[in-house]
Amino acid sequence: MYRIGLVVLIFILSSCKMRENLEEEINFSRARKEMVETQIKARGITDKRVLAAMLKVERHKFVPPEIQHLAYTDQPLPIGEGQTISQPYIVALMTELLKLKGDEKVLEVGTGSGYQAAILAELCKEVYTVEILKPLAERAKKLLKKLGYKNVFVKHGDGFFGWKEHAPFDAIIVTCAPPYIPKPLIEQLAEGGRMVIPVGPEWRWQDLLVIEKIKGKIKKRKVAPVRFVPMLGKGVKER
Ligand code: SAH
């Protein structure tokens, strides 16, 4: 009798927890929809594939548990080690600027939480992402694996030097700001490829640039002033 009572109690408690989890998922999904409408579409992002990816990827899984309730708000958020996950609109804007069609090999410099890499993974063939801080690289690798992404490869290292073994890349996205464009990244960009990168000093706004390699020549275009964490590491200090 006592045993049956215990089993019933465990059943009731676990179904309450499941219900709570389900309700939470529904709330997050509603918040994500609102984020896409009010922060992303409203500011002019129109690429349907980018909008679908922003709607699908669960941003709250990429931020620390204590700030999950802020995951869909219009701001960057801390992810530990003094680093941040970019504002959702900036992720969408940079992704749209890459003009991905689906068959590209993409390099990301600055894995951070892995969120941008997950968005890219929805939109291209393979993502190679490099993170200089080991705890972040390890955490992102684990999370992306847990979420089932088989086309994202995470490396702990200095992304200033790109990822030579897998070059050339059809697209490169840099999510930390160097004071100038790293030469290895230009070299590892494929002919006809595009790179989106914030360039400028640490102490003020940087320029978000779109760089295209056309017949071996580099074409640069300024898109918007942005604020990113600085690129760290020896590479960037060598010049
Ligand atoms: N794309 C991330 C946001 C990254 S914040 C996301 O979606 O969460 C910028 C990241 O760049 C930080 O994690 C920082 O540690 C990393 N970073 C800084 N300098 C770097 C370098 N030289 N190589 C690789 N990563 C670097």
10-residue averages of pLDDT along the chain (239 residues): 75 70 82 98 98 98 96 96 96 98 98 98 98 98 98 98 98 97 97 97 93 95 95 89
Token pair of 34, please?
A: 């609102």
**pLDDT of 73:** 97
**pLDDT of 10:** 73
Q: List domains and CATH numbers for the chain.
A: 33-238 (3.40.50.150)
**pLDDT of 1:** 65
Nearest residue (by CA) to ligand 1, atom 13, is 112
* Segment (H or E) for 169: strand 169-174
**pLDDT of 29:** 94
**pLDDT of 65:** 94
Best residue among 183, 229, 236 to mutate for probing ligand 1, ranked by most atoms within 8 Å of CB: 229
**pLDDT of 127:** 98
Measured in angstroms, how far is the CA atom of residue 36 from the centroid of ligand 1? 24
Ligand 1 lining (C-beta closer than 6 Å): 79, 83-86, 109-110, 112-113, 115-116, 130-133, 136, 158-160, 175-176, 229, 231-233
**pLDDT of 16:** 66
* Distance, CA of 124 to CA of 101 (rounded, Å): 7
Best residue among 63, 90, 132, 238 to mutate for probing ligand 1, ranked by most atoms within 8 Å of CB: 132
Measured in angstroms, how far is the CA atom of residue 224 from the centroid of ligand 1? 20
Measured in angstroms, how far is the CA atom of residue 13 from the centroid of ligand 1? 41
Taking the CA atoms of 33, 90, 96 and 162 in sequence, report the sign of the dihedral they define.
Answer: negative
DSSP secondary structure, 11-49, as one string: HHHHHHHHHHHHHHHHHHHHHHHHHIIIIIITTT---HH
Measured in angstroms, how far is the CA atom of residue 176 from the centroid of ligand 1? 5
**pLDDT of 14:** 73
CA Rg, the chain, in Å?
20
Alpha helix positions (H), the chain: 2-35, 48-56, 88-98, 115-121, 134-146, 183-187, 234-237
pTM of the model: 0.93
Which of the residues are catalytic?
86
Measured in angstroms, how far is the CA atom of residue 174 from the centroid of ligand 1? 8
Instruction: Ligand 1, residue 117: give the atom nearest the CA.
Output: 7
